[in-house]
Structure 1
Amino acid sequence: MEKIALVMTLLPGYEAEYKKRHDEIWPELVTCLKSAGVSDYSIFFEKESNKLFAVLKRTSDHKMDQLPLEPIVKKWWAFMADIMETNEDNSPKTNSLDRVFHLE
């Protein structure tokens, strides 16, 4: 398993709505993520900057690069596009983070 982290940006004032939508995440989307090798996925919110910090584990043979082709992922991106910074295809604008420390 590989652990990765990403940063995204929530639009101001949408913390509760973002949490609500994720509390009600679609079962089809969960299935799609797990099928792609994703597990132990958490997202944290930093209030002062509106930054979302996501960390997840993925299998060595993950298929995360195929997720943007999945209709349910595209539907989720469109659903979330009104409350966060996105690219033209509605995918969230993300920045990968490099691990600088790990304690097990």
Structure 2
Amino acid sequence: MKLLPGAVEEYRRRHDAIWPELAELLTASGIRDYSIFLEEETLTLFAVLRLLPGNTRDALPAHPVMQRWWAYMAPLMEVGPDNGPSEWPLAPMFHLA
């Protein structure tokens, strides 16, 4: 994901005050241990999360709470036509368990 210039502090503020209904939705969808990191020079965001077996993460984009959150966050970041954040998959290069 990628932030727009000047949006770092507002992005952080909005996530520090995440809506309880969104946090509950993410947890109920099988998402745990969710962190978002910022690469400050390029404004690139890198999200890491753990998915429980049987998670319903793929259904999140259609949920009204997620749609409202995306609309709320859209002015701060690069988004697609549905206001969902633009995302690019990363190729795994190394993992040490």
TM-score by length of 2: 0.96
Greater per-residue strand proportion: 1
Question: Map of 1:1-104 to 2, 5 A cutoff?
Answer: 8-104=1-97
Return the alpha-carbon distance in structure 2 between the equivalents of residues 57 and 98 of structure 1.
17
In structure 1, stretches of 5+ residues that fail to align are: 1-7
Deviation at 1:96, TM superposition (A): 1.7
4+ residue runs over 2 A deviation? none
Deviation at 1:60, TM superposition (A): 1.9
Return the alpha-carbon distance in structure 1 between the equivalents of residues 90 and 52 of structure 2.
18
Aligned residues: 97
* Amino acid of the structure 2 residue aligned with 1:45: L
In structure 2, stretches of 5+ residues that fail to align are: none
TM-score by length of 1: 0.90
